[in-house]
Amino acid sequence: MFRTTRRYAVRSLAATAVGAVALGLAVPTAASAAGSAPDPQWGANQPRPTFEESPADGNPDGPALDPTAQAVGPSEAAAATDAQRAAGAGATAAGASSWVLRGAGWGHGIGMSQYGAFEMAKAGSTASQILRHYYTGTTYDAVTDNQTLDVNILNQVSGSSTVTAVPSLVASGNGGGAFTVVVAGDSRTMTGKLGDAVAFSRSGATIKASCSSCTGATSLAGATAILRWDSLPGMNDKTLMKIGGTQYRDGTVRMKPYGTSSWNVVNRVRLHDEYLDYIAESPWSWNVEALKAQAAAARGYALSKYQALGGKVKSSCDCHLYDTTADQVYAGYSTVLGNGNQPWWPNWRNAVRAASSADRGYVARYDGAIIQAFFSSSSGGRTENNEDVWGGTPLPYLRGVSDPWSLKSSNPARDWRQVASTSSLARVFGLTDVARLDLSDRTANGGVRTATATSSAGTVKTVTGDRLRAVVASGSPFSGQVNSTMIRHLTGRLSGADRYASAAAVAGRVSQSASAVVIAGGDGLLVDAAVSGPLAATVGGPLLLTQQGRLPSATVTELNRRGSAVRTAYIVGGTSVVSDAVASQLTKRGITVKRLGGANRFATSALVAKLIKSKRAVPTVVIAGGEGLPDALGVSGPASALREPILLTPVDRLHDSTRSALTATGATAARIVGGEAVVSATVQSQLKAAGLTTITRLGGADRYEVSAAVAAFYGPRMPVRSEIVLTSGRDGALVDSLVAGTLQRVIALTQGSTLGGDALATLQTSSQLETLTAVGGTAVVSSRTLTTAANS
């Protein structure tokens, strides 16, 4: 069910501009690049209000209306359903101070994409083709457009405030400047000229007009005030009237009280030209077919709303339309005068007059009826079905369609990053804070259908995706509100033809000038390699995998790429894991080889820990079960980032080598990774007896729960929290996790073909997450899993 327009914002009568909030530079034909500050005067560069925003003026627009019977504004939406989705797993982290959102597009995403239309026209599409693409099944037809519209240009909620009307000339010496004011119930007329100014205010149920220098009446008071200038003899198109900071050339202005303290200022204009000539939606410098499409959409939108109202005005605004993006941006003559726009005005006026008629213009129609021509700045790659965003009856011409043109470089919102404070996010959900944000419920075209937030106290609330756009957020290129519902994490993949090539792909993220590499066995037993990540991070080099008897071609290729910069290679493991033949190959390349190989896995991990200690302080170590390889791999990312050595131990006792390493490192804290089935309570007691004062167990029922516990603990402690690595927790794919740890990020273990609930919880509680990087090919982390993660 659709409702009528909610007022987007209270617009002060003293504002320097109305609708076009602050006049900036006109957007050139080649629109601004992403990240630059676009001109805010154009509707294409202004936020579209969400449907569920409360009317800022306190004036409801009336009862709910069915979209099949009532035209609604481009930025209006349907009421959310009362049903809420199941809460899912509870929050696992305290509420963050802010949340980072990445996405594409700006606006509700329904109907025509303005930047998409711009790019389609550049590629040769006509206005008719553009409209038929974005409005499914429509025709491009000329209809009568000589109707008179009442456009609300100001709304005042304080009865004590005033608005001043000041005349000026369209051109020097053109003889304009005269105006008159009359009020209902008073037969007198106030007459003014160039240099006079009239002040309007409200007192109770009365609008007052005062002008000490005017002739006739100098003060009038009544229920309605009418200001005329354009229709006076000899004044037509010669006089500008500055009202509330914005210049108007055409029409008349009506002022009426509303409610107990509000009052409305309305400009009455003819649709064909006096209204459409000043629509500031698409920059007038854009190519003509894009402008013709915009003119047809703007005309059709206004006509469909006018017809749905039966020509009558809405009582809340005394109008058919608002002048903001709550309907569409009507900015008066100020847009013509502002920032070099005037040379481009004929471009727009020609688009408006494309039908070459004094009282007809083009619109999009479906089955012979003028459509509700919703549009927004850009879609983010696909437009939306109307019911998926606003609910209500599906409209056949508002079907989601592919919109690759919105992702072209001309669109400043083709890729955006915003930061929302937790307090702003929480307000939209009605929570005290937000510890988990679930955006996984998606529309058919990929936007957020509903968003569910969980507070640190465990309270769960759900809102519509359109309502989520009411969150106050800041970032590039737009600030104000969340740009669109096309919110998703960025994704990447590091993989190769085999495990060795995948390791080389990950190594590509490490500086090519690194002087050291770590070499670990990639076939057979992997347990020695499980402790290699913190060592690689400590020496500042990559971790490369090798076969037991020789260096594989992918590893050789990576060593060749690094050339003479590599001077030292640390081999982790004994000769049964990495043979002397491999060491010899490295030596022949002029590389000094240092082997860290003990009698067993426990002794090898101890040697690695001692080497790390020789290069830096080691206040904390990680304790992992020698038989719990997935746990050790899952913690390798955080352990590498924080340079915490991973020490292995048998399940039921602290190994002598491990105990020796604890003494050598001087560590006072330990993180036990895994449950008691992997590292027993006895080992935990022995750690305490060995002098460790702080022992934290990060356990779970399985490797995926352990991975989530590790992420929850280390996440806030990580130097980089904007990226999480996805890799498989399945036994057959664990080798990819060996090298994933060297990226020094939190690792979320997936179940390969599915993301899994524990990994999902990790992503949804990571408030600073922006990028997801899969390590391994699609057989390790499927494309479907990566997409699910991106939309989490």
Q: Count of residues for the chain?
A: 792
Mapped to the 3 state alphabet, what secondary structure does 628-647 carry? Answer: CHHHHHHCHHHHHHCCCCEE
When pLDDT is cut at 50, 70 and 90, the band that residue 64 belongs to is very low
What is this structure's pTM?
0.87
- Residue whose pair of structure tokens reads 């205010």 in the numeric block: 201
- 480 vs 484: CA distance, rounded Å: 12
Q: Summarize pLDDT for 367-386 with one digit per residue, the tens.
A: 999 999 999 999 999 999 99
Percent of the chain with pLDDT over 90: 80
Of 18-22, 83-87, 292-296, 438-442, least confident by mean pLDDT is: 18-22
The pLDDT of residue 22 is 24
Q: Check pLDDT > 90 for residue 40.
A: no
Cis check for the bond before 477: say yes or no (omega within 30 of 0).
Answer: yes
DSSP state at residue 784: H
- For 304-335, write each residue's pLDDT tens digit: 999 999 999 999 999 999 999 999 999 999 99
Q: What is the mean pLDDT of residues 163-182?
A: 94
Q: How far is CA 201 from CA 182, 222, 252, 512, in A?
A: 14, 11, 18, 71
- Mean pLDDT for 400-422 is 96
Among 57-71, 402-416, 774-788, the least confident range: 57-71
Q: Looking at residue 159, what is its pLDDT?
A: 66
Among 671, 738, 765, smallest CA distance to 534 is for: 738
What's residue 52's pLDDT? 59
Q: Does 469 score more than 50 pLDDT?
A: yes
Is the alpha carbon torsion for 662, 667, 669, 672 positive or negative? negative
What pLDDT is attached to residue 41?
Answer: 84
What CA–CA distance (Å, rounded) separates 386 from 380?
A: 16
HSE-up of 222 (CA within 13 Å, CB side)? 16
Whether residue 96 has pLDDT greater than 90:
no
CA-based diameter of the chain, in Å?
109
Q: Looking at the predicted structure, is the pLDDT value of residue 80 above 90?
A: no
Q: Name the one residue in this structure whose structure tokens are 């402008």.
A: 291
Tokens encoding 412:
């400043």
- Average pLDDT estimate for 91-115: 85
pLDDT at 92 over 80: no
Mean pLDDT on 717-728: 96
- Please tell me the distance from the alpha carbon of residue 570 to that of residue 582, in angstroms, as a whole number: 12
Q: What are phi and psi of 564, to 5 degrees?
A: -75, -5
Predicted pLDDT at 94: 52
Pairwise CA distance, residues 336 & 643, whole Å:
61
- Tell me the pLDDT tens digit for each residue of 652-690: 999 999 999 999 999 999 999 999 999 999 999 999 999
Q: Which of 431, 498, 426 is nearest to 459 (CA)?
A: 431
Alpha-carbon span 702 to 337, nearest angstrom: 68
The alpha carbon of residue 333 and the mean position of all alpha carbons in its chain are separated, in whole angstroms, by 33
Region 249-254: mean pLDDT is: 97
The reported pLDDT for the residue numbered 81 is 29
| pLDDT of residue 95 exceeding 70 | no
HEC profile for 341-361? CHHHHHHHHHHHCCCCCCCEE
227's CB contacts (< 8 A; 6+ apart) are: 165, 179, 180, 181, 198, 241, 243, 252, 253, 254, 255
Q: In Å, how far are 254, 453, 769 from 792, measured between CA atoms?
A: 50, 12, 11
Residue 121 reports pLDDT greater than 80:
yes
pLDDT at 732: 80
Q: Mean pLDDT, to the nearest integer, of 18-45?
A: 45
How confident is residue 266, by pLDDT bands cut at 50, 70 and 90? very high
- HEC-encoded secondary structure of 181-221: EEECCCCCCEEECCCCCEEEEEECCEEEEECCCCEECCEEE
**Residue 213 confidence (pLDDT) above 50:** yes
Confidence of residue 23 (pLDDT cuts 50, 70, 90): very low
How sure is the predictor about 752, in pLDDT bands with cuts at 50, 70 and 90?
A: confident
Give CA–CA dist 51/522, Å, rounded.
56
Q: What CA–CA distances, in Å, run from 80 to 447, 453, 466?
A: 15, 16, 9
Reply yes or no on whether the pLDDT at 60 is more than 50.
no
- Summarize pLDDT for 475-529 with one digit per residue, the tens: 988 888 999 999 999 999 999 999 999 999 999 999 999 999 999 998 876 777 8
Question: Which one, of 303, 282, 480, lies nearest residue 376 by Cα?
Answer: 282
User: Which amino acid does the sequence have at 699?
Assistant: G
Q: What's the CA angle centered on 673, arms 671 and 679, to 5 degrees?
A: 105
CB–CB of 167/224 below 8 Å? Answer: no
pLDDT in tens, 546-587: 999 999 999 999 999 999 999 999 999 999 999 999 999 999
Question: Mean pLDDT in the chain?
Answer: 88
Between 126 and 525, residue with greater pLDDT: 126
Distances in Å between the alpha carbon of 728 and those of 738, 759, 781, 782? Answer: 11, 11, 6, 10
At residue 54, does pLDDT exceed 90?
Answer: no
